[in-house]
Every structure is written in structure tokens, then in C-alpha cells.
Structure 1
């Protein structure tokens, strides 16, 4: 079987000229015109911009090298805190709050609005606050490298002095922010410990007042000490009584009952027995202690109540003293921990006045514009070619 090829459509000369003109026109519009416009802008309109680069890091005294588990955990927590603070600084430098701080030091419109700069880089003279917030990242750009935890800030202005001044303001505002955040965190850490110490101190003061009131009411400084003293006196009297009775028994063996020595010893025994009775009554021992007072309470009951109440007050006082000392130690530990977690701005690349303009980067910009324009034209030319093949 033999196949005969049909006629192949051949574009006419008019069609070829049309598509050639379209291709040339697209090249002029997509490549040549943007490149020439960019060249004209950089040659006649673009204004030099000076840039100052500042590098710093957020550091904490608590971030130290440690091989033990606790050190690794606490060090990791402190490191995470400084990373969060670093990202906070980057966000802050693009915020309305930073713009307000910046406005107190420099006049953005005076620095960046007409007649300063050029049509693409200047700030509109009638710019609102929101417009200035949007404009801010163009003159203050911040980046954070998480691997090194370094923040890099670049400030741009139309003169070296202004760019340096902007960098100094940025560094000052960042330090103020970190100090404020760090101080607030420190106060929050210490505040709870201070409140606990205040409660413990007040409880101790109240307990001491209760003991003072008890002593005023009972007219005794320490009932337990009073009892111990009286018991000691009673024991001495009883010893003396026993000794005197022994001596009297010995004398009666060879002396008459009415002998002067016997009468003297008997008199001493009677005196000692009366003293012992008095001391036993004070201690609430025996029948004397069972005698009811004016309130109907026996001496024994009164003494027991007084001692029991005082011992309870002393136990509470000891407990509250220990609680106070514990709260005092906790406050000191909280202060040490708060000081350890203090953050500060460690600057290692300080703002320095530039000697030459960094922007515009004409060569790089022209290469980028030319490359992008050529790629766009290449894609468009490919579609033109496909369209020509389809139509013919």
C-alpha cells in the first residue's frame, strides 16, 4: 500500500513578516525598553544611598557551657529564651512601636521625603503613619541567623551621617527593649517570692504579738520555765526536809525530846514542810492544787491550761520562724535566678560611618533586570512561535 503525503502549509511572506515584527516588537518591549529605562534611571535619577551594618546578639549570663544534665536543660531553656527575644527584636524593628520610638529621635520625613532621594526610594511627603510603617523595612532591615543567633541590622539613608545616626537609634531602641523585657521578667520572677516572704513575715509578727498578749494576760514570761524553776525549788526543799528528818532521828536516839537541838531541828522540819506545801500549791500538786480560785478553775487546771496554751503558741512560733527563713531563702534564690536569666545586647559590630554609597548596586541590578527581561521575552517568543505554527 502506498501513502501519498498531502500538501504542507507553508507560511506566506506576509505572515512571516508579521510574526517577525511581532517577535522584534516583543523584544523591544520586554527586553530593550526595560533595560534602557533602568539604565536611564540609574544614570540620571537614582540617588546614592549609604548603608550602615550593625551586628549584635541577645545574651544571658545564665547561658554557660555545662556537661551535666541540669546544666544542659537550664542552658537550653535560657538559649530558647534568647532566641525568642532575638525574633522579638526583628519583629519590633518593623512595628509601629519602633516607629514611635524612632520619631522621638529623628524626623523620617525630613530624612527620606522629597526633595531627598528619588522617585523610587523617597517617602511620600503626605505619608501617613501607616505609610511610614510600610516604608520602614526599606530603610531599616533586620535579619536573624538562628544557627549563630546573630541579628544583623542594616540602616539606609541619603548621607553617611544620617545612616550612622539611624543605626545608633536602632541599637539604642533595641537595648531599651531588651532591658525592659528582662526587667519585667525579673520582677515577675521575684514578685511571687516577695509576696510569700511578706505573708510569712506578717504571720510571724502576728504570732509574736499573740505570745506577747498571752504573757500580758498570764503575767508569766514562760510558764514552762516557771514550772521547771518551781519544781527545782520543791526538789531542793524536799531534799533538805529528808536530810533534816534523818538528822533529827539520829539525835533522838541519845537526846531527850525536849532537848534544844531536837526542838531546833523540829522547827526546821515544820518550816520546810510549810514551804513545801506552798510550792506544791503553786504547782497545783495535791489538795492545795485542787482548791478552786475566784473563777472556779483549780490551780492545777489553770497551770495546765497556761502551759498547754503557751506550748501551742511556741510551736506555732517555731513553725512560722522556719517558714519565714524558708521564704527568705526562696527570695534570695529567686533573685539569683532572676539575675542569671537577665538578657542584654552584646554588640560586636558597632555602627561606623560609611565612606562610600552601597546602593544602588547598578551592575548587579542591571544584570538582574536584563536576565529577568530576557527570560520573560524568551517565554513570550516561544508562545509566538507556537501560535505561528498553529495558525499556519
Structure 2
């Protein structure tokens, strides 16, 4: 084969290669045009009211929920407030005076709920386990965490969103659910909440018991003071008038008066008899008349002792007044003794009752240690957002269609 033939062959092969390359370039251009057309059709479907207001937000929110949202672990515990059974053992009179009674279980559970949600609990947790530092940690995404520039009120609201307290009205069981960005902290948070709430309820119970005992002791002290005063006044009265028992001495004086009156009556009878047989100047008649006068003088003296004061300037009292005063003092002493006895019994009973009324916060379920995160609930959140957006989109379309028709 000569050189001319070889040149022809090379020329034909080069032409074939150039044709192939041109064809491949053409195919690439066609493919790029097809891809552009496809992308344009895709964008065409996206850039619609349905795509912009429904599909795109769902896609963005789904991306956040699946890839970016921080997992939150939840620890749960159950509490109940208990106290020993028993009615108030105070005497009815003391119970009316003190106004003490049984407290409502519903009130106790609401106190626990309010305390867990209070700023006092929040301050304790922040000091004890650095609660705010955990909520501001970089473990959480920017949409889930708390920021350092937010106020205490924001911190309180954020805490309430992370700690849920619910009460079963029938059983009075308190359920506490505490969330954290890791399992260990969620369990620690629930544990500290339970410990602090238990201390608070026990402290309230002791304060109420101390207040009840202090009130009863004060009442008992008043009754005891009344008894001592009554005893002192009675003894002073007896010492002043040198009387051991004025009632008995008053009876003795009355017997003396009655005896003198009897003697006077007897002498009058004897005098009448003698006058029938003797003259008025007879010695026996004069003697009897003198005896009658003496008895009458003694009778007036004894009656004066019973009804008149011996020494007005000295403030002395008559026997009748002494008896009346002594009777009043004796009645006051008897009442004071009865009141003291009743108060002593009530104080001892209330001492026992005060401790029986102490309340205790019992953990039915200890704080759980979660292994899987409970939040965010990805499928639920995405489904809920989708339903809401589609409903809003449908309502918007209906409103626009109605508006266009009326237009």
C-alpha cells in the first residue's frame, strides 16, 4: 500500500472521529436543555400558592425537625400528700375557740403544684443544679434553648414549659414531668424538684403544728394564771378577816342569835307567869326583867355583827358581806379549777393531734431515667403543621373564589 492510500484512510478515520465528537456534543447540549426544562418545570410547580404557602414551609419545618431540632428527654415521677387519719381530739369548747380543723387534700396538692411552679423553686434549682446554664447550653438548637440576654420572667416561662405538673382530681396524685437536653439532667431535675417539694410540705406541717401548740399553750397559761389569781385572792381574803371558813362561822353566829331569841322568849314567858302572882316591884320580877334586857342587848350586838360593818374607816365588812364576798371568790376558784383541768386535758390531746396532722409528701414513682427522647415528636409535629397549613390554604382558596365570584 502506497502513501496516497494511507493518507486517504487517515482522512476518513479523522472524519469519523470528528463526526462522533460533534454528535456527543450535540447529545450533551440536548441533555442540558432537557435538564433545564425539567428544573424549570419543577420550579414552576414550586412557585405556586400551594408550593409557597404549604409545601415549602412543610419541607423547611420537616428539615428542622429531622436534622436540626435538639432532642429533649423527659423524666417522670408521681407524688401524693398523706397524713395520719384522725378527727380533732380537742374538747368542743376548745375546738370552737381555736377554730382548728382538718385541711383539704385538694388544697394540699394545689399547694405542691404552686410551689413547684414558683420562683422560689426556680431559684433553688438554679442555685443547686445550675438550671439556667443547662437551658442556655450549646447542646440545644437556637430555637429550643434559652439565651443569656433573656429576663428572669422569660426564664420562669421557659422553666414552666419544661416542667409539667398535673393533678388527678380523683386520686390526688401529682404527676411531675421534667425535661432536659440529656437523660442525666432530666432525672436530676425531677429528683431535686421532688426533694425540695417534700421539704416544703414537711416544713409547712411543722410550722402549723408549732402554731397550734403555741396557741394551746397560751390558752393554758391564761387559765393557769386565772387559777393562781383566784387562789391568791381567796387566801388573802381569809387572812385579812382571820377566817378559816366564813360559811361555818356565819352559821355559828346565826345559831347564837337563834339561841338568844329562844332565851328571851323563855324569860318573857317566865316573867308573865310571875307577874300573875307577884307585884311588879318584886325582886324576882326585876331580876328577870334585867336578864331580858341583857339578852336583848346581846341579841342586838350579834345582829349588828351579822348585818353591819365593824369599822367603816378600815373598810371592814359585815358577816353577811364577808359571806357574799367569800362565796364569789369560792365560785371563781371552782370555775378556775374546772377550766384548768379541761385546759390540761385539751393541751395533752392537742399535742398528740398536732403531730398526727403533720403532712408528708410521698413518692409513688421515683424519677425515671429516660433512654429515648420524648421530644420533639417529629411525625406528630409535621403532620399537625401539614393539616393546619392545608386547612388554611383551603380556607384561603374558598375566600378568594368567593371574592372573585362576587366581584
Matching residue of 1:206? 229
Number of residues of Structure 1 aligned to a counterpart in Structure 2: 303
CA contact (8 A) 1:53 1:152 kept: yes
Matching residue of 1:147? 170
When residues 24 and 310 of structure 1 are mapped into structure 2, their CA distance, relative to the original with a 3 A threshold, is: same
- For 1:168, what is the secondary structure of its paired residue? helix
* Displacement after TM superposition at 1:142 (Å): 0.8
Matching residue of 1:179? 202
Structure having the higher Rg: 2
CA contact (8 A) 1:200 1:323 kept: yes
Matching residue of 2:383? 367
Matching residue of 1:108? 131
Matching residue of 1:377? 393
CA contact (8 A) 1:62 1:78 kept: no
Deviations 1:316-344 (A, max 9, x none): 11110111222233334544554454332
CA contact (8 A) 1:60 1:78 kept: no
* Displacement after TM superposition at 1:51 (Å): 0.8
When residues 226 and 383 of structure 1 are mapped into structure 2, their CA distance, relative to the original with a 3 A threshold, is: same
Matching residue of 2:280? none
* Displacement after TM superposition at 1:308 (Å): 4.9
Matches within 5 A, 1:141-290: 141-219=164-242, 222=245
RMSD, aligned CA = 3.6
Deviations 1:241-279 (A, max 9, x none): xxxxxxxxxxxxxxxxxxxxxxxxxxxxxxxxxxxxxxx
| Structure 2: gaps spanning 5 or more residues | 1-43, 88-100, 257-297
When residues 390 and 227 of structure 1 are mapped into structure 2, their CA distance, relative to the original with a 3 A threshold, is: closer
1:94 aligns with 2:94: no
- For 1:117, what is the secondary structure of its paired residue? coil
Q: Which shifted more, 353-362 or 328-337?
A: 328-337
CA contact (8 A) 2:126 2:132 kept: no
Matches within 5 A, 1:29-178: 29-62=52-85, 78=102, 81-178=104-201
1:328 aligns with 2:344: yes
Q: Normalized against structure 2, the TM-score is what?
A: 0.63
Give the Cα separation in 2 of the matches to 1:63 and 1:120. Answer: 53
CA contact (8 A) 2:46 2:52 kept: no
* Displacement after TM superposition at 1:163 (Å): 1.0
- For 2:48, what is the secondary structure of its paired residue? helix
CA contact (8 A) 1:82 1:343 kept: no
CA contact (8 A) 2:310 2:318 kept: no
Deviations 1:199-234 (A, max 9, x none): 111111111222333344345555557889x99xx9
Deviations 1:332-391 (A, max 9, x none): 454455445433223211113222222222222222222222222222233344455556
